[in-house]
Structure 1
């Protein structure tokens, strides 16, 4: 007797999970609109949405640039560059994100300030510029740099795998056509690697939306921090953190669905 197989990933069937989540989201939205307490909590927490979105977008964009650079170093013909890239990836991946956040904020930032003042000491002594203070480096940018460094190691591995997945025959054909190394990467390798790396990059992007909540430990006024402040002042922990979870779910699930749609369009484009 032949076994009946389900469509891959539930494809072709009605997404009941999405319908259930949609119904819950609508019900909670109604509660927020009709209940004064929940309305007040939501208004307070929503003030941190802009900070969360800004931190996520900037940190992820920088992490992709840095991650691609590390991946290219790891694929270099020079062994020294490959060893440097591997050292960076293994060290950064082995440090918890929260520890890295504290390290960048309270060790890296003061170290950067000290280095800057040492390099600029002639100009500072001449009165041309003022000495930089640690407090001049905002906590939000410290958090952005920490997320950038933390995610760049994982993104570097994603890019490396995507680049190595490109058929060697196509690279050899590009060489035969006289394309330079940069042209081969830009015109042949990267467009094909992008199709492979897009799904895991999408997952990392959604994960960064959630990990951006870690910046609240530095007092950055994101969604989580606004919730902490409100809950500590009103002692309405259930209502506050229910709304915090609701806002993050709306952001992450909405973003996941949007990225999944982009991925499907990319797949259809490459199939053609």
Structure 2
């Protein structure tokens, strides 16, 4: 096996640029996904059937299709219908937001439903209406339950950004592929790609475990 030690260093500027895009897409996409997920998660447990079914339809459609299919549909399918091209970066953020939103919606639903129903009655006995009870009593308790699975979803969404290389988003995997295609140093390149992903996922996992331990003690 022939290794090129210099390639481990030469690929780093490419990957550093790609890492920046990966982090930005993940943070912005998941942040928007939190808004979408919170809304649809609460809709999925609403009293009105129409609202519930709207949320369930969205959640099942997204969870039931591969994210790669969603990327290709948003970037190529929708523009073909409306004769309009999306910027790849926009597609990346949009798909990560929509995809993570469906999973976060289930996290929100599970978190809220895990709180004892007596908490709602307790809020009413204090003179709070349904919205106030949700905001001041149910939601703060539910957030504690939701933090660990949310952390897992963040890591999953971060790794899912690698599929955006199929539409030429200049994220980590795409930059690695670009360098590999011009240098032919396949082992060195993809080894460093894995290292760069681990540079994000390992600290995120450590922070997640630390947060879980703190929540268990409190």
**Is the CA contact (8 Å cut-off) linking 1:224 and 1:244 kept in structure 2?**
yes
Pair 264,110 (structure 1): closer, same or farther in 2 beyond 3 Å: farther
Does 2:33 align with 1:83?
A: no
User: If you compute each CA radius of gyration, which structure gives the higher value, 1 or 2?
Assistant: 1
Greater RCO, CA 8 A, separation 6+: 2
1:95-145 CA deviation, whole Å, 9 max, x = no partner?
11000011111123455xx4xxxxxxxxxxxxxxxxxx834x321111111
Local SS of the residue matching 2:208: helix
**Is the CA contact (8 Å cut-off) linking 1:72 and 1:160 kept in structure 2?**
yes
Local SS of the residue matching 2:69: helix
Match of 1:134 in 2: 84
TM-score normalised by L of structure 1: 0.75
TM-score normalised by L of structure 2: 0.93
**Is the CA contact (8 Å cut-off) linking 1:109 and 1:142 kept in structure 2?**
no
Match of 1:52 in 2: 22
Local SS of the residue matching 1:108: helix
Pair 109,159 (structure 1): closer, same or farther in 2 beyond 3 Å: farther
Pair 219,186 (structure 1): closer, same or farther in 2 beyond 3 Å: same
**Is the CA contact (8 Å cut-off) linking 1:101 and 1:146 kept in structure 2?**
yes
Q: Distance in 2 between matches of 1:73 and 1:215?
A: 30
Does 2:32 align with 1:62?
A: yes
Which of residues 82, 85, 102 is equivalent to 2:72?
102
Unaligned ranges ≥5, structure 1: 1-31, 115-132
**Is the CA contact (8 Å cut-off) linking 1:45 and 1:226 kept in structure 2?**
yes
Q: Distance in 2 between matches of 1:108 and 1:197?
A: 33
